[in-house]
Structure 1
Amino acid sequence: MSTPGRDHDGSAPVAVVSGAAAGIGLACVRELRSQGWLVAGCDLRVGDAADLDAVVDVADPVAVARFVDRVTRELGPPTGVVSAAGYVEEIPLDAISPAAFRRMLGVHLGGLHHLTRATLPAMVARGGGAIVAVASELAIAGGEDAAHYVTAKGALLGLTRSLAAESASAGVLVNVVAPGPTDTAMLAAGTVWRDPAYLATLPTGALVRPEEIALTAAFLLSGRGALTGQVVSPNAGTVI
């Protein structure tokens, strides 16, 4: 199993981070690089923080496979994956179109599936690796006016637990980070999430910072703690 700053042969381990251009994904890129990882980031727009940045739609399995092939050629085979690509829409259930539902599942659930299919065989062959899916506290607690988002995030828990059960004997650890409301551009100004009255209901009284989520993801990628198939929730006490 890779540890920060060192792979089996002494070289820097390689991680792939989706959603790398902003928010939690960008924070993960920065944190992993600070810990000695080589990081390849992908997003719908080009980032500038990773060792290798690319425009990739994670809902497209062919594009994801080509990206991972490029990463392997240019940086080395990935031993860490953070599936952080995602977006949120607040829409009542009866207003969610079939296309919107499919797209939400395609990005969140499909993104993790496609990244895993592209990276897991090499991890198994090397005898170790780690995969982290970024879900949401709403996957645990539910939420209104975002049924397709909550469904997609909840599905990540099931996929992750299945992957963990299948991959543990090969030394690959698979876990979920389920953040609470996080201080990123996804939570727009003027929404309930930034209302002082809402913040006062949080045990910590503040939104989670993306850097805190990144620290959690980096720990799970480190392989320390014997965690697999677990949901780790840095959520400001929103769900206790």
Structure 2
Amino acid sequence: MSRVALVTGAASGIGAAVSTELADNGWVVAGLDLRPAPRLAASIAVDVSDAGQVRNAVDAIRGQLGPIDALVNAAGHYEMTPVSQISAAAWTTMLRVHLGGLRNAVHAVLPDMIERRTGAIVAISSELAIGGGDGDAHYAAAKGAVVGFVRSLAAEVATHGVRVNSVAPGPTDTPLLAADSPWRDPAYLATLPAGRLCTPEEIAYAAHFLIDGPGYCTGEVLSPNSGAVI
């Protein structure tokens, strides 16, 4: 029987790499994103911060492909802003996309996983959730909340056969990082033990490991970050 994975943010960056990694390893992959995600078994354009849109999309995917066995929440939004310049709207948007998007996706897929007593959920967080960053307070706060959500949910659903983990990447070579981003500055890269940005494919491999790897792993955070946080 085919295994079905749902990936949010599937149209680009880490989400696209996760979709490819899972599809290449026998998963039937459906994607949610503001933009179409080509070459997937199903792709629905949604705003992940809208619970109703996510719920309707998941219902449609379930009807087309069958029960969802794994969720990878990779939809994201990033900007650098000093704390004094973070508007209320920017603060709310950051939380709605990252924490709200995760909550909405989990609410849509979790009841079936609990009923079937199997499932894996992986949320993409950030090393900034662990180490913080200059100009990244609202992003780091949202990603830190994701880690707290993951660990709490993992404890809540472990007895139901559902595993919940997180991947906290360091700066990754995706379109979210502008060409002039300080994270791309050679002087910053020289401070990393690995000396380079992570690739989306490396993050995807970590997410795949948490889905298909050891069944005892839940409530954990993997940190592929080129040594940025050790």
Q: TM-score, normalised by structure 1?
A: 0.94
Q: What is the alpha-carbon distance in structure 1 between the residues aligned to residue 154 and residue 85 of structure 2?
A: 35
- Tell me how far 1:223 sits from its aligned partner: 4.7
The aligned counterpart of 1:6 is none
Q: What is the alpha-carbon distance in structure 1 between the residues aligned to residue 226 and residue 18 of structure 2?
A: 18
The aligned counterpart of 1:84 is 74
The aligned counterpart of 1:219 is 209
Q: Residue 154 of structure 2 aligns to a residue in which SS? A: helix
The residue type equivalent to 2:149 in the other structure is L
Q: What is the alpha-carbon distance in structure 2 between the residues aligned to residue 47 and residue 164 of structure 1?
A: 29
Q: TM-score, normalised by structure 2?
A: 0.98
The aligned counterpart of 1:174 is 164
Q: What is the alpha-carbon distance in structure 2 between the residues aligned to residue 50 and residue 23 of structure 1?
A: 15
Q: Over residues 173-195 of structure 1, what are the superposed CA-to-partner deviations in whole Å (9 max), with x where a residue is unaligned?
A: 00010000101111111221111
The aligned counterpart of 1:186 is 176
The aligned counterpart of 1:143 is 133
The aligned counterpart of 2:92 is 102
- Tell me how far 1:126 sits from its aligned partner: 0.8
Residue 53, structure 1, aligned to residue 43, structure 2: yes
Q: What is the alpha-carbon distance in structure 1 between the residues aligned to residue 81 and residue 110 of structure 2?
A: 35
Residue 36, structure 1, aligned to residue 26, structure 2: yes
RMSD over aligned Cα atoms: 0.9
Q: 1:198 aligns with which of 167, 183, 188?
A: 188
Q: What is the alpha-carbon distance in structure 2 between the residues aligned to residue 179 and residue 106 of structure 1?
A: 20
The aligned counterpart of 1:119 is 109
Q: Residue 30 of structure 2 aligns to a residue in which SS? A: strand
Q: Over residues 57-106 of structure 1, what are the superposed CA-to-partner deviations in whole Å (9 max), with x where a residue is unaligned?
A: 11000000001101100011101000000011111111111111111100
Q: What is the alpha-carbon distance in structure 1 between the residues aligned to residue 8 and residue 48 of structure 2?
A: 8
In the alignment, is the contact (CA less than 8 A) between 1:90 and 1:145 conserved in 2?
yes
Number of matched residues? 230
The aligned counterpart of 2:198 is 208
Q: What is the alpha-carbon distance in structure 2 between the residues aligned to residue 56 and residue 224 of structure 1?
A: 32
- Tell me how far 1:216 sits from its aligned partner: 0.6
Q: Structure 1 vs Structure 2: percent identity of aligned residues?
A: 55
| Segments of 4+ moved more than 4 angstroms | none
Q: 1:231 aligns with which of 211, 215, 221?
A: 221
Q: Over residues 141-160 of structure 1, what are the superposed CA-to-partner deviations in whole Å (9 max), with x where a residue is unaligned?
A: 01121211111000001100
In the alignment, is the contact (CA less than 8 A) between 1:26 and 1:49 conserved in 2?
no
Structure 1 residues not aligned, in runs of 5+: 1-10
In the alignment, is the contact (CA less than 8 A) between 1:133 and 1:177 conserved in 2?
yes
- Tell me how far 1:49 sits from its aligned partner: 3.0
Q: What is the alpha-carbon distance in structure 2 between the residues aligned to residue 198 and residue 186 of structure 1?
A: 17
- Tell me how far 1:27 sits from its aligned partner: 0.1
Residue 17, structure 1, aligned to residue 7, structure 2: yes
The aligned counterpart of 1:7 is none
